[in-house]
Structure 1
Amino acid sequence: MGNLFCCVQVDQSMVAIKERFGKFDDVLQPGCHCLPWILGSRLVGHLSLRVQQLDVRCETKTKDNVFVNVVASVQYRAIANQASDAFYKLSNTEGQIQAYVFDVIRASVPRLDLDDVFEQKNEIAKAVEDELEKAMSTYGYEIVQTLIIDIEPDVHVKRAMNEINAAARLRVAANEKAEAGKILQIKRAEGEAESRYLAGLGIARQRQAIVDGLRDSVLGFSENVPGTSAKDVMDMVLITQYFDTMKEIGAASKSSAVFIPHGPGVVRDVASQIREGLLQASSVS
């Protein structure tokens, strides 16, 4: 109906290309326009001024011979005052942009190792954007932004990278565990040494107390029972301790004991051995 009355409507964020007798005549902005078709004017197409996005997947190889798929996202739009160039100069805008992206990525990534590709993806995106801006501006297009949104190594390479990472973490964990075990052993040894030291002090004090007790017992018994010597008192004390020991061994339900020849007469032999040992020690000192 608009063509019948020589009127056309151009929507917002769009421009229309007008020709007259097959030759470019004007760029029609959004709104209503008179198009006298009887005078050879006609509308040949529309061009969007909105920002468009093109995702380009490019397979290439890194410096360390790892094949990767690099996904670049290019955001672009037609320049309003160069709409005629954008409409007439390029027949396949997306194909042209894709070709430039392939060219830059395949020239940049092979100079980098795989780890550097991940670290320098912003530099790669900037290189792609600069090249596209310089090339596409002559065709009436503006490059708004270029992003490297994904870097995908081969699945076997990713698995190997994960295994290397896991091995490194396991090695650190093993070192930490070994260090903790070392500290634990040191602390255990220090505790055992301290325990033995304190046990030695306890035994020394115990023996000192036994000696003091025996001395007091001998002196007290000798004073209260006339005619007894220190030897008689020691024999009696040893016999008493002997029977106390036998009583404790017999009372225990579960005990390990080494049986040696015993009897009341043996105690006298033990007493004589103790005395001989004491006399030898005193003579050596």
Structure 2
Amino acid sequence: MKHEIIRLLKKEGKLSQETIDELQDTNIHDFAGLVKEIGKGKTEHIKASEISKDLDTKYVGKNLYIYKEVTSTNTIAKFLSQTGVENGSVVISEKQSSARGRSGKSWASPLGGVWLSIILAPDVDHSKLPLITLATGVAVAETLERIGIENPEIKWPNDIIINDKKVCGILTEAVAKFNTVENVIIGVGIDANIDLGQLPEELRDGTATLKKELGREVDENILIRIFLEEFEKISELFNHEGYEKILKEWRKRSYTIGKIVEVRKPFNKYYDAYVIGISKEGALIVEKIDGTLEKVISGECIIKN
């Protein structure tokens, strides 16, 4: 994290090389004020004033930090979460240079997309935290429905699909101290108006953009505003233990239930299975070839043709 923060400060001209050389023994949190200052500066495409205008939330998005380019909004959000920021604060970047998805996979984040992370302090039992990813998926799907996308689907556990192509990924990370989860960082990346030619060639065929699906560009500021509203609704439901309602909405939009998948678990444990449903804890319930049932809590599921 220290390297990423120093890189941001150097890029924005806040630190000289001489100062950077002297930072080896410095507590990077001493520079939290500078990082926040940059996040309140001028940007070209994403505007705090446009997002905040008519934003109908109580706490999500009331405090925005917007950057021209960072390595990863999740990294900046994790840093800021340790320096005292409000619950529901949001970190947004016009571009990400080293974004990542689940299992450390890289995530292409050029101009034209929505790249943000929400800092959340959920007051719930820690056993329920895995449901936050599913709840966020519902919030993204409902956002896309509000702007005219028909039938967005959710692929377990963290992708949003349009017409069999991925349009959004979600990365949830816990910030813990002394074995206690203090904050949860919810990273969301939506391919809004990006140019597919900017993506690595191997990703282009499987990527959807809102611009292509709708036949027009989407206002990224309005898209962010709508998402923050939908996220707060689902977050409030989560905080008041409305888990079954969240799961009901998730099941309605599931891209995974009813399909044959290859389950990829840690330590190279792969097997084929039929997806039956999802448990109240958010685990995928699958039937293996031998007829036994299993709950998949972590890992990856590849849809098989």
TM-score bracket for this pair, using the shorter chain length? under 0.3
Give the greater-gyration-radius structure (CA): 1
After TM superposition, the score normalised by the length of structure 2 is 0.17
| Bigger fraction of residues in helix | 1
After TM superposition, the score normalised by the length of structure 1 is 0.18
**Structure of greater relative contact order (alpha carbons < 8 Å, 6+ residues apart):** 2
